[in-house]
Amino acid sequence: MSIPTQAARQIPVAEIVFWLVLAAGFWLWPSYLPLASQVLIAGLFALSLDLVLGYAGIVSLGHAAYFGVGAYAAGVLASHGWGEPFSGLLLAAVCAGATGFITSFLVVRGKDLTRLMVTTGIGLLLFELANRLTDVTGGNDGLLGMEMRPLLGTFRFDMYGKVAYGYSLAVTFVLFLLMRRVVNSPFGLSLRGIRDNPGRMLALGYPVHRRLIAMYTLASVYAGIAGALLAQTTQFVGTDVLSFNRSAELMVMLIVGGTGMLYGGLVGAAVFMVAHHYLSDLNPSYWQFWLGAFLIAIVMFGRDGVLGACLRLMRAWRVRAQKAALES
């Protein structure tokens, strides 16, 4: 994929269309802009997990830890009278990145199950911490009183969510481009090497742990920014930003979309949240039941998710079209 091939050269067109459609969202789904912002934020968050899971192969069920740290960083800043959005993002990135850097030393040790439990433990620890530090977080009542200043000094956050959508889209787009660059670099390739065979990477001279620490810190920065976006656009932070459910649902979104393909997280977030929006109105337990069944089905019948399935279909269609062209 990272070496120019025919497939790689065809992707940009689809990619440009993808982002244009999102930009046209103001007119395509004007009454669903708040939901669409949430999808973008979840997609950005899933992109962060994709780096950890899809590219570097670390199974994490505690990724909400960094999302939550970012959300609280931005929320606390705004509730203390500094409502400028971008400085909130910056603070969230720094706080989440620092948390990620420190905890990464714990995470990179051990193997799959150990890592799974350590990440889960870190997530639960931070969740408990937020519950206890009621002075800072507001505990169960949530953090109230966030006052956001207008974006760039001109655009006020409106009740239809227009500015929030534009803001989320712009931030997600920029961070997406950066990540695209990173995963297609030698550094990105080395992560995939580590995912496939860490022992052999050591033998090739790669300092595997240091790579994973750098990767994990970067992913935490992304998660923190996603959390901050959620806090700023909804002007509220509850302890659920750190909950286990959020980590688990994030994993589901990424798997539904497809791992290791950058866009999997965004596609998965859209599918997941739109389905959730409609199905959980019927009956919350239906939703959870079919979500579980769907997860099992994905594991049993093809792990590359919705996006992977689409790509396979497209490839099959193209092959058939070529054959038809040859025969005629």
CB count within 10 Å of CB 35 equals 17
Residue span binding another protein (CB under 8 A) among the ranges 40-48, 197-205, 269-277, 306-314: 197-205
Is 90 in contact with 247 (CB distance < 8 Å)? no
Instruction: Give the whole-angstrom CA distance, residue 167 versus residue 152.
Output: 10
By beta-carbon proximity to another protein, the closer residue of 110 and 145 is: 110
Distance between CA atoms of 260 and 55, rounded to whole angstroms? 5
Q: What values do phi and psi take at 160, rounded to 5?
A: -85, -10
For another protein, the closer of residues 58 and 143 by Cβ is 58
Does the footprint of another protein cover residue 188 (CB under 8 A)? Answer: yes
How many C-beta atoms surround the C-beta of residue 173 within 10 A?
15
Q: Min. distance of Cβ 244 from another protein in angstroms?
A: 7
What x/- string results for residues 271 through 290 when contact with another protein is judged by CB under 8 A?
A: ------------xxxxxxx-
The verdict on 109 binding another protein (CB under 8 A) reads yes
- Quote the least distance from Cβ 191 to another protein, whole Å: 11
Q: Which of residues 4-63 bind another protein (CB under 8 A)?
A: 4-5, 8, 53, 59, 61
Nearer to another protein by Cβ, of 144 and 178: the residue is 178
Contact flag: residue 262 with another protein (CB under 8 A): no
- DSSP summary character for residue 151: B
**Residue in 44, 91, 198, 73 with CA at minimum distance from that of residue 146:** 73
Q: Work out which of 206, 279, 280, 310 binds another protein, going by CB under 8 A.
A: 206
Nearer to another protein, 201 or 266 (CB): 201
The dihedral through the CA atoms of 71, 73, 75, 78 has a sign that is: negative
| Strand ranges (E), 124-191 | none
CA dihedral for 230, 232, 235, 241, sign (positive or negative): positive
In the three-class reduction of DSSP (H, G, I as helix; E, B as strand; rest coil), residue 143 is classed as strand
Q: Rule CB under 8 A: which of 298-317 touch another protein?
A: 298-300, 303
Q: How far is the CB of 232 from another protein (least distance, A)?
A: 27
Residues in 145-184 that interact with another protein by CB under 8 A: 181-182, 184
> Does 295 sit near another protein (CB under 8 A)?
yes
User: Using CB under 8 A as the criterion, what x/- string covers residues 212-251 for binding another protein?
Assistant: --------------------------------x---x--x
Amino acid at 283: N
Size of the site for another protein (CB under 8 A): 72
Nearest distance from C-beta of residue 87 to another protein, angstroms:
25
Region binding another protein by CB under 8 A among candidate stretches 29-37, 92-100, 112-120, 163-171:
112-120
From residue 49, alpha-carbon distances to 54, 130, 226, 233, 234 in Å are 7, 22, 11, 21, 22
Which uninterrupted H or E stretch holds 92? helix 85-107
- Of 60-79, binders to another protein (CB under 8 A) are 61
Q: CB of 189: closest distance to another protein in angstroms?
A: 6
**195-220 core/surface letters (b: 16 or more CB in 10 A; e: else):** beebeebeeeeeebeebbbbbbbbbb
With binding defined as CB under 8 A, does residue 325 bind another protein? no
